[in-house]
Structure 1
Amino acid sequence: MADSSFSLKSIAIPAYGPSLLFGFANGAILPVIALSARDLGATPALAGLIIALIGLGSLLANIPAALITARIGERSALLGASAITIVALLLCIFASHTSLLALAALLIGVSTSVFFLARQTYMIEAVPFYMRARALSILGGVNRIGMFAGPFVGAGAMHFMGLAGAYWVGIVALIASTILTYLMPDLHVAPKEQDIPVARPRMLQIAQEHAGIFASLGLAVLLISAMRAARQIVIPLWADHIGLSPTTTAIIFGISSAGDMLVFYPAGKIMDEWGRLWVALPCTLIMGLSFAAMPFSDTIVPFAAVAVLMGLGNGFGSGINMTLGADASPDHGRTEFLGLWRLISDVGTSAGPFLLSGMTALVSLGAGVMLTGGFGFISAAIFWRFLPHARGSKK
């Protein structure tokens, strides 16, 4: 039975503080890694490849991260992830060759996978089901806030310290995250009566037992992740296509990101009170429509409107991937299941930009954007078919 006295305020600092600081650190350093690569003599193509290693590291680490987290526990995994990222940022600062920077990028991706898998598992265990979507939406939202604020503070530090300033900002934030995680007491998790000391299931066993979920809702999650990754490329590419200046593009992208942050809590509340479908559908349909409309925006005003709509759609889906994964995960073998779930999501994140680029090369940028928008309509259809329609439907 759900604990009706539970309040998210009671766990706000231990639950969300480290995530906010981790997102802040990533926001500070991600915009400058490519610039560091260029300073070390990398070509634009090599700099882009080094950035891509972050996503590759996250993709490759999902299964090992699940196994490690299941063995050492969520709190230790969080501490380890922050420590690995600090080492990676020190490598970025003192790198004398692009190979060291590439290693740092790979480590950042690995630690990010470990951190968010451990954080998600921690929240699922600590928060009652009736508040799960709000808790996970806020988790996604505070990371967005950190990613939004980090670049501004990093830019201020770079004014005085050069590129290294952004990395030092990230290191300070990560040290604060590590201290907060270490000092805060473990979130209280009520014991489950059905818990019995049996061997943990193997990853292959989890994959086989839940193959239907991975092939249905997992596919929809993959498509959402592909759209989200492509969104970060589509907005600047289309702005350049219609002749907007870099400054104007940056401002519009910032406004779109601000819209992204406005709706994460209402989305979580709707999911908890009405059901997952009534956030999954608006998120995917709004993003699909905004991608489909982008090729028809040939001046600044309609382009800005579409970019903001895209941000709102993305923000409305804050936490949806984590919530659906949490709902589908078994009590026994949950961490292993979530590792596979994150793997599917990261495949979409990695594939989205490549599919966009491929269609752009073969046909046109407009065709690539339209193809990406189609992912939204496909995922909406999957959600309509497989998610409960009744208000307040439970797991």
Structure 2
Amino acid sequence: MTTAPSFRLGSVALPVYLPGLLFSIGEGAVIPVIPVDAARLGGSLALAGFISALIMVGTLIGDIPSGWIVAKVGERTAMIGSAVAALAGLLLCILATAPAVLGIGVLLIGIATASFALARQAFMTTFVPASHRARALSLLGGMFRAGYFVGPFLAALVIGLTGSTRAVFVVHAIACVLVAIVLLVLPDPSAVLAERRSAMRTAPAAQTTEGESVAVHREGLFRTIARHRQVLARMGFAAALIGGLRSSRMVILPLAGVSLGMQESSIALVVGVAGAVDLALFFTSGQIMDRFGRLWSALPSMIGLGLGHLALALVVWNAVADGSSGRILWFVAVAIGMSLANGVGSGILMTFGADLAPRHDPAPFLGAYRFTGDAGNAAAPLALSALTAAVSLSFASAAIGVVGLLGAGLLARWVPRFIPRTPRPRT
């Protein structure tokens, strides 16, 4: 019996991770200026918020067809096409003279983002074995998080130097051009690893990176969804809850800071520090998942986010009841605690998707799976706004916290059923 060769991604790490970092830096730069530019074009506050949300709507629209596109043309071609599509959307944003034109451009950027992210996840799913998958995907997620962290600071620098928000869209356009150059100049990691696998193959059948022989057969998008409907219904719903808790955190922290009477600069500082804490844990999450199993990362993350929302509700309620703003330290503590919980779960959604997807043709499944998570991302802020308007911010935070704890229970039930614990790799 032959021993499976150890997995090495180092030789193709630069073309694997650098495009995601560049693309996310550009997107992270433009996201904060979209509502500002919409208002500058004459849009109302509500319209500016709607245009900002179109980037998430575009991602939802692009999720499912992007799986079909990646399966047809391959990961690298899909990523280059996504960069070109994002460039078209950015050109509309730069030339926009009305909010409607800006909105179309933002929608195109969101659609391009869906295909770009799915292409790299499909590569990881195909080539990275289960023993290393969480670390590889957590590092990929860390690249996106790093970009979203650096992007706003870069946007502030560019605006300070040029005095124009439109210049920030040019920054993203330059990032897209660099992405295309990197993908064209550096070796295609899919081709490199496929060639390496072919050289080590001993059986005539196609092999996975884990030494399993499989027949290479591609299914259509809707047939894939139908065949995996039970997994998508259960684990997809769990992904939506995880995505919802995460996006709710990003919305509710600034709102809680405002309700406590904090200055805008102070709120931004707290959110920035919390983001740094979140970013620092992305590789630790992958280590935990690969060594001890997926639940050891997913459950602490969901429980922590749920308890964080409940604690934040208590802080806001006490401040409103006392008529004082002396709860700032508690707010800072809760914000950092929620970031710790979120950081521990870094990469969990991509890892779940990679674990569940078919090895030979993952893209159609991943498109449907990503749609469910992104639906939660989009729905949670809307639910938060509705509950806040109908009752109060503290009630909305508490309600989402309860949903998070219920989601942890669903994960405890479904993850062992659909994702058996990955054995710890031998050293």
Whether TM-score is above 0.5 comes out as yes
After superposition, residues 157-172 of structure 1 pair within 5 angstroms as 157-161=158-162, 162-172=164-174
2:294 aligned partner: 276
2:65 aligned partner: 64
Counterparts of 2:390 and 2:68 in 1: how far apart (Å)? Answer: 41
1:376 aligned partner: 404
Asked if residue 296 in structure 1 is aligned to residue 314 in structure 2, the reply is: yes
Change (3 A) 1:83 1:393: same
After superposition, residues 296-315 of structure 1 pair within 5 angstroms as 296-297=314-315, 298=319, 299-315=327-343
Counterparts of 2:156 and 2:102 in 1: how far apart (Å)? Answer: 20
Q: Partner amino acid for 1:141?
A: G
After superposition, residues 194-273 of structure 1 pair within 5 angstroms as 194-196=213-215, 198=217, 200-273=218-291
- TM-score computed with the length of structure 2 as normaliser: 0.88
Q: Partner amino acid for 1:137?
A: S
Q: Partner amino acid for 1:216?
A: R
- 3-state SS in 1 of match to 2:262: coil
Counterparts of 1:8 and 1:307 in 2: how far apart (Å)? Answer: 35
**Structure 1 residues 11-51: Cα deviation after superposition (integer angstroms, max 9, x where no partner):** 32111100000110011111001111111100011111111
Q: How much does 1:205 deviate?
A: 2.0
Kept after mapping to 2: 8 A contact 1:288/1:375? yes
- 3-state SS in 2 of match to 1:216: helix
Asked if residue 337 in structure 1 is aligned to residue 355 in structure 2, the reply is: no
- 3-state SS in 1 of match to 2:416: coil
Kept after mapping to 2: 8 A contact 1:224/1:375? no
After superposition, residues 3-82 of structure 1 pair within 5 angstroms as 4-82=5-83
Q: Partner amino acid for 1:364?
A: S
Q: How much does 1:263 deviate?
A: 0.7
Counterparts of 2:394 and 2:15 in 1: how far apart (Å)? Answer: 45
Kept after mapping to 2: 8 A contact 1:220/1:378? no
Counterparts of 2:33 and 2:343 in 1: how far apart (Å)? Answer: 25
Identity %: 38
Counterparts of 1:31 and 1:261 in 2: how far apart (Å)? Answer: 19
After superposition, residues 119-138 of structure 1 pair within 5 angstroms as 119-138=120-139
**Structure 1 residues 148-172: Cα deviation after superposition (integer angstroms, max 9, x where no partner):** 0111112111112211221122122
2:202 aligned partner: none
Runs (5+) with no aligned partner, structure 1: none
- 3-state SS in 2 of match to 1:388: helix
Counterparts of 1:2 and 1:51 in 2: how far apart (Å)? Answer: 52
- 3-state SS in 2 of match to 1:185: coil
Q: Partner amino acid for 2:187?
A: P
**Structure 1 residues 255-313: Cα deviation after superposition (integer angstroms, max 9, x where no partner):** 11011101110110110111101001111011111111002224110100101111111
Change (3 A) 1:306 1:3: farther
1:363 aligned partner: 391
Counterparts of 1:363 and 1:301 in 2: how far apart (Å)? Answer: 25
Counterparts of 2:108 and 2:235 in 1: how far apart (Å)? Answer: 29
Kept after mapping to 1: 8 A contact 2:12/2:187? no
Q: How many residues align?
A: 393
**Structure 1 residues 322-354: Cα deviation after superposition (integer angstroms, max 9, x where no partner):** 101111111344111001001111110111011
- TM-score computed with the length of structure 1 as normaliser: 0.95
Change (3 A) 1:393 1:363: farther
2:182 aligned partner: 180
1:97 aligned partner: 98
Kept after mapping to 2: 8 A contact 1:261/1:315? yes
Kept after mapping to 1: 8 A contact 2:159/2:168? yes
Counterparts of 1:195 and 1:67 in 2: how far apart (Å)? Answer: 21
- 3-state SS in 1 of match to 2:43: coil
Q: How much does 1:223 deviate?
A: 0.4
1:116 aligned partner: 117
Q: How much does 1:85 deviate?
A: 1.1
Change (3 A) 1:347 1:391: closer
Q: How much does 1:3 deviate?
A: 5.2
Counterparts of 1:197 and 1:352 in 2: how far apart (Å)? Answer: 39
Runs (5+) with no aligned partner, structure 2: 199-205, 208-212, 320-326
- 3-state SS in 1 of match to 2:6: coil
Counterparts of 2:146 and 2:250 in 1: how far apart (Å)? Answer: 16
Kept after mapping to 2: 8 A contact 1:273/1:391? no
Change (3 A) 1:26 1:286: same
Which of 316, 323, 327 lines up with 2:355 in the alignment? 327
Change (3 A) 1:372 1:2: farther
2:210 aligned partner: none
**Structure 1 residues 97-137: Cα deviation after superposition (integer angstroms, max 9, x where no partner):** 11110111100110000000101001222222210000001
Q: How much does 1:8 deviate?
A: 3.7
Counterparts of 1:155 and 1:361 in 2: how far apart (Å)? Answer: 32
Counterparts of 1:222 and 1:235 in 2: how far apart (Å)? Answer: 20
Q: What root-mean-square deviation, in Å, do the aligned CA atoms of Structure 1 and Structure 2 show?
A: 1.7
Counterparts of 1:5 and 1:306 in 2: how far apart (Å)? Answer: 42
Q: How much does 1:195 deviate?
A: 4.8
